[in-house]
Amino acid sequence: MEHIEIFLGDNCSTKYYKLLNDKKEMSCPECFKHTINIEQTLELPINKEKILRKEIELNYDEINKKIIFTEIENHFDKVNSDIDFHTDKLIKKINEYRLKLQEKLKQNKDDFIEITTKNENDIMNRESFFKKLEQFQNLSDKIELEREFKKKILKREAVVNQLKMNLNENIYQPIKLTDKLEYVVGKLEMTNKNSIEKQIEKIEKFFRIEKDEKKIKNSLHIDCTKQLKGHSSLVSCLQLTTNLTLATGSRDNTIRIWDLENCNCIRVLLGHSSWINCLKLINNQNLASGSDDNTIRIWDLKNYYCLKILENTSSVFCLQLIEKNILACGSRDKRIRLWSLDNFTCKNILKGHSSNVLCLQLISKRSLASGSDDKTIRIWNLDNSDSNEKLDGHSSSINCLQLVDINTLASGSSDKTIRIWDLKKYDCIKKLNDHYLPINFLKIIDNKFLVCGSEDSTIIIRDLNNYKCIKVFKGFSSIFCLEQIKNQIFACGADDNTIKFLNLTT
């Protein structure tokens, strides 16, 4: 697409990619002698036709690359393999557990035998008793011996009775799994035929509707009781692209663009072959997405097509815009890569973490924070690519970071806590532990409040002055991401495949 010849007038033309920037006007990229209006130039019939034709070619190429019947076969073969693989693992674990039970059982048996043997040795046998009794002539001595022996017999009887009672406590209680197998083996989440047909019917209806080209008014009304439904798996990331449109990424491998005024999906961006983990708005024309398929895709938000694919070496978990032309990504390979958005090449790699890099937060133009599965936060100097400081304290992976102010950083972790860090002394100054499951996101509202969301289905709002809890919202599905839409209105992505609107009025 970027190599299409665009007509500029006066027998002059240039490549499409040279016009891709966030300005309305620019100097002619060929002669630099006059100014051109980018939007008007691209709207010229000759250019419009070239762009449209190229889009059609790209769409055909995409369709041919992914033959749906092959994808269906491959997908369900993989699901079947996953079932077999998981079941084999369960059988192995069950056998391991059986051996542990048997070992424990043998140890208990040996303990009982040892106690019983010790008790038996403590008392004379019948023959020994009578033999010793014959040695005494005096009746008083015989009576004393008999009393002592009877006491030992009574003690032995009491011990035997106690051992029998203890034996009854050593039992095996099998669990009836008839109605609970799905909790052990797993369950299938399947799309039924009627659901697919209804979704396709909606798509066909959408393409029959003539769209009003006039811009929708800027005022936005959102009904907080509504939900956005369309994804077929967990919603993992959100990005507001304009004040009227929201992009959502999901583990169903798709990105959806939503009209917030009418609460409907206006586009589905296809191309990734695995989970979408993160979205980042580059400018008002372009969106970046990171995926488990080891790629970052740059999307044209005007024409809704993939402009460029950046090939990473492993899963991309997070994105952060450093400057308007530098994009950072955190990966499964423990590294942070800095990509140039001018020529779409990797210009630098930051190394230091010992596990997955899960989140990034820009502190200043020259400073970047990163959180990792290695339980640490690193602060990077972007001038020399060094990790100046390492923040230790969390006991599990760092899932999210939020800059409170230039000297304060908040971090959320799978250890169920939020920590507040002093970026001057690089010390933890506050530990918050009101959640009982991993923390998935942190957001600042109006520079006054910190919003904390967790897999425990709660959102807690805290006062930034003292970090005290001032409001708790409960009763949602597990929440994985949050995006501020307008004032106190937020969208959140959940594990029930929906996007919910919340009024987090403080």
Decide if pLDDT at 172 tops 70.
no
Say what the pLDDT of residue 133 is.
78
Q: For 326-370, write each residue's pLDDT tens digit.
A: 999 999 999 999 999 999 999 999 999 999 999 999 999 889 999
Query: CA-to-CA distance for 381 and 338, rounded, in angstroms?
Result: 13
Strands of the sheet with 469-474, listed across from one edge:
439-445, 449-454, 458-463, 469-474
User: Which has more pLDDT, 57 or 449?
Assistant: 449
Decide if pLDDT at 478 tops 90.
no
Query: CA-to-CA distance for 24 and 40, rounded, in angstroms?
Result: 9
User: What is the residue whose two structure tokens read 């079932």?
Assistant: 83
Query: CA-to-CA distance for 471 and 488, rounded, in angstroms?
Result: 13
294 torsion bin: left (phi>0), alpha (psi -120 to 50), beta (else): left
Beta bridge partners of 35: 27
Q: For 16, which DSSP code? A: G
> Which band of pLDDT confidence, cut at 50, 70 and 90, is reported for residue 205?
low
Instruction: Please give the domain boundaries of the chain with CATH numbers for all domains.
Output: 5-65 (no CATH), 125-187 (no CATH), 224-503 (2.130.10.10)
Instruction: Tell me, letter by letter, the H, E, C secondary structure of 166-221.
Output: HHHHCCCCCCCCCCCHHHHHCCCCCCCHHHHHHHHHHHHHHHHCCCCCCCCCCCCC
Mean pLDDT of 102-131: 76
Query: CA-to-CA distance for 2 and 50, rounded, in angstroms?
Result: 12
Say what the pLDDT of residue 320 is.
95
Q: For 354, which DSSP code? A: S
Neighbours of 396 (CB within 10 A): 14
Mean pLDDT, all residues of the chain: 83
